[in-house]
A and B are shown apart, each in its own frame.
Chain A
Amino acid sequence: EAGVAQSPRYKIIEKRQSVAFWCNPISGHATLYWYQQILGQGPKLLIQFQNNGVVDDSQLPKDRFSAERLKGVDSTLKIQPAKLEDSAVYLCASSLLASGSSYNEQFFGPGTRLTVL
C-alpha cells in the first residue's frame, strides 16, 4: 500500500516570498491533516479536513497560511508571505474517516523541510 506522499521534500526561500506544499493521502482516507513541526518540538496541528470540509483550523495563521483540499483527495498548503519563524517541517497525515465511534491512526508523510532566510 502506498503511503502519504509529499512534495517537495526541501524548500529554501527568502522572507516575504510565497511557497506551496502538496500532499497526496493514502487512497480511501477521508481525513487529512497538516502539521507544523519546529525543531525540537512536537507536531502542531494547523488544519484538519474531513473529505473536502474543514474540521479544525483554529491554529492556522489565516493571515498568511491557506490550505485547500479539492475533491476530497489531494491537498495544498500555502504560505504567503513567509516569515523567518515559518522555518519548520510541514507534515501531512491521513486517516480513515474520523468519527465518534473509533480512533483511526494517522499515517504521516515524510514532510517538507522549509527554510526561510
Chain B
Amino acid sequence: LAKTTQPISMDSYEGQEVNITCSHNNIATNDYITWYQQFPSQGPRFIIQGYKTKVTNEVASLFIPADRKSSTLSLPRVSLSDTAVYYCLVVRNTNAGKSTFGDGTTLTVKP
C-alpha cells in the first residue's frame, strides 16, 4: 500500500477554510483515498472518500489531481469543534480493503 505523508500539525481560526494536503506518490490504480477524523478519547470517524477529481459531502470536500499522487481535504468555515486529528489513508480496493493509518495532522482551531 502507498505510504502517505501529511503535515504533523496545523493552526487555523474560526470561520476560515482549512486545507490539509496528503501526498501518496506510490498510489496504485485500484487505490482509493479516504480521510478520517479523530477527537480526543474517541475512535476515528469516516469523513470522505474519493478516487479522482472532486468529491463533496456535508462535512468536507476532497480534491484529487489527475496524477492522484496527492489529495487535499478542505474544511469550510471551521469552528472550535473541528479541532481534531485528521488521517489520510490509501485503501486498496481489493484484498479485503486493506489500509494503513499514518500519524495524521493535528488541526487546532483558535477563537
> Considering the chains assembled together, what is the distance between the CA atoms of A4 and B46 in angstroms?
14
Given the known interface contacts A103-B34, A103-B49, the answer about A93 and B97 at a Cβ–Cβ threshold of 8 Å is no
Q: Which of A40, A56, A95, A108 contacts B44 (CB 8 A)?
A: A108
Q: Which of B32, B34, B96, B101 contacts A98 (CB 8 A)?
A: B96
Please give the residue numbers on chain A whose beta carbons come within 8 Å of chain B beta carbons, in ascending order. Answer: 4, 31, 35, 40-45, 48, 50, 55-56, 91, 93, 95, 98-111
Q: Are B42 and A99 in contact (CB under 8 A)?
A: no
The interface residues of chain B lying within 8 Å CB-to-CB of A100 are: 93-95
Q: Are B43 and A110 in contact (CB under 8 A)?
A: yes
B102, CB-defined interface residue at 8 Å: yes
Question: In the complex, how many angstroms separate the beta carbon of B103 from the nearest chain A beta carbon?
Answer: 5
> Considering the chains assembled together, what is the distance between the CA atoms of A44 and B100 in angstroms?
7
Closest B residue by C-beta to A56 = B98
Question: In the complex, how many angstroms separate the beta carbon of A32 from the nearest chain B beta carbon?
Answer: 12
> Considering the chains assembled together, what is the distance between the CA atoms of A45 and B42 in angstroms?
16
The interface residues of chain B lying within 8 Å CB-to-CB of A45 are: 100-101
Considering only CB atoms and an 8 Å cut-off, how many residues of chain B contact the other chain? 23
Question: In the complex, how many angstroms separate the beta carbon of B44 from the nearest chain A beta carbon?
Answer: 5
Q: Which of A44, A93, A95, A105 contacts B43 (CB 8 A)?
A: A93
Q: Are B97 and A98 in contact (CB under 8 A)?
A: yes
Closest A residue by C-beta to B48 = A105
> Considering the chains assembled together, what is the distance between the CA atoms of A102 and B85 in angstroms?
25
| 10 A-B pairs closest in CB distance | A108-B43, A42-B101, A105-B46, A98-B97, A100-B94, A98-B96, A55-B96, A43-B101, A42-B103, A91-B43
Q: Are A42 and B104 in contact (CB under 8 A)?
A: yes
> Considering the chains assembled together, what is the distance between the CA atoms of A111 and B49 in angstroms?
24
> Considering the chains assembled together, what is the distance between the CA atoms of A41 and B100 in angstroms?
12
> Considering the chains assembled together, what is the distance between the CA atoms of A104 and B91 in angstroms?
10
The interface residues of chain B lying within 8 Å CB-to-CB of A41 are: 103
